[in-house]
């Protein structure tokens, strides 16, 4: 009886260990290309890209969910928007193969230099959107600067020729519940990226810097964009007078 009990215990432990391994292997993750999660696609292949970068529809949907979660629980959310400088002109010069090579380079850099919980996707205008849950503005800048510096050392090869490319980065973060709309934080990142382009590219710009320099325009930012009721009353009275 003892041996049967012992055997039963061993069998149960073996079944539990097997079940744990199955759970670990099948647990979903944001990046199938990362070590320890899902399949391991070959380097420099379309399989690697498809398993590492979300499409525009996917990344925007995930960003919207993360934004809603951040507002609901009062946790920070960082957003980074990146684009290779002069990419359309370079593609015209070197061919469409450059666009695929750039995607591989960006995906590799982001995979190596960010967390597994961070979300990266492409947009239809050759931009790369990185969503950083639980990341405040200072931490977002650290990530943005790191990606910018690392990409500056990457050489992309096209038809046997190596090209040294630069990248512009726009970044922002909602650290509290002051940003009311999902579209606002995305527009802030776009504004910061455009500011980087207009000032020569190859740099990291935060949305706060564009506001200080007066280039943010009438972009909806959050609570501070709505007029003070007292000021609105005063303005109406001035007009009547």
Give the model confidence (pLDDT) of 31-54 as tens digits. Answer: 444 443 433 443 444 444 444 789
Per the domain annotation, does 174 fall within a domain? yes
pLDDT at position 214, please? 60
Per the domain annotation, does 234 fall within a domain? no
How far apart are alpha carbons 89 and 54 in whole angstroms? 25
CATH number at residue 69: 3.30.70.270
CB within 8 Å of 158: residues ≥ 6 apart:
94, 95, 97, 98, 101
Per the domain annotation, does 231 fall within a domain? no
Q: Which two tokens stand for residue 152?
A: 């500056």
pLDDT at position 39, please? 35
pLDDT at position 157, please? 82
- Helix, strand, coil percentages in the chain from 3-state DSSP, rounded to 5: 55, 15, 30
pLDDT at position 34, please? 43
Count of structural domains, the chain: 1
Range of the domain at 92: 46-215
Task: State the average pLDDT over residues 119-130.
Answer: 92
144 burial (CB, 10 Å; 0-12 / 13-18 / 19+) is buried
Per the domain annotation, does 145 fall within a domain? yes
Decide if pLDDT at 96 tops 50.
yes
Task: State the average pLDDT over residues 95-114.
Answer: 90
Per the domain annotation, does 61 fall within a domain? yes
At residue 96, what are phi and psi to the nearest 5 degrees? -70, -15
How far apart are alpha carbons 106 and 87 in whole angstroms? 13
Per the domain annotation, does 237 fall within a domain? no
Per the domain annotation, does 175 fall within a domain? yes
How far apart are alpha carbons 165 and 235 in whole angstroms? 51
Per-residue model confidence as pLDDT tens digits over 155-207: 888 877 888 899 999 999 988 767 778 889 999 999 999 999 999 999 999 99
The pTM for the full model equals 0.69
Give Rg (Cα) of the chain. 24
CB 208, CB 222: distance < 8 Å: no
Per the domain annotation, does 18 fall within a domain? no
């Amino acid at each position: 009886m003892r041996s049967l009990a012992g055997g039963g215990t061993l069998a149960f432990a073996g079944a539990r260990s097997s079940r744990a391994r199955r759970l670990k292997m099948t647990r979903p993750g944001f990046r199938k290309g990362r070590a320890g999660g899902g399949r391991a696609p070959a380097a420099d292949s379309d399989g690697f890209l498809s398993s590492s970068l979300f499409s525009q529809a996917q990344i925007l949907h995930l960003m919207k969910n993360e934004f809603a979660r951040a507002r609901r629980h009062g946790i920070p959310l960082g957003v980074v928007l990146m684009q290779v400088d002069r990419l359309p002109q370079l593609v015209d010069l070197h061919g469409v193969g450059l666009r695929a090579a750039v995607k591989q380079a960006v995906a590799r850099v982001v995979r190596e230099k960010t967390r597994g919980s961070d979300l990266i996707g492409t947009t239809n205008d050759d931009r790369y959107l990185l969503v950083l849950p639980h990341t405040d503005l200072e931490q977002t800048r650290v990530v943005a600067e790191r990606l910018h510096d690392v990409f500056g050392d990457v050489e992309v090869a096209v038809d046997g020729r190596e090209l040294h490319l630069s990248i512009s980065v726009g970044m922002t973060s909602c650290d509290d519940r002051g940003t009311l709309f999902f579209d606002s934080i995305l527009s802030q990142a776009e504004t910061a990226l455009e500011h980087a382009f207009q000032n020569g590219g190859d740099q990291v710009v935060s949305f706060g810097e564009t506001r200080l320099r007066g280039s943010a325009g009438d972009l909806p930012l959050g609570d501070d964009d709505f007029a003070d009721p007292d000021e609105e009353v005063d303005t109406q009275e001035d007009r009547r007078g």
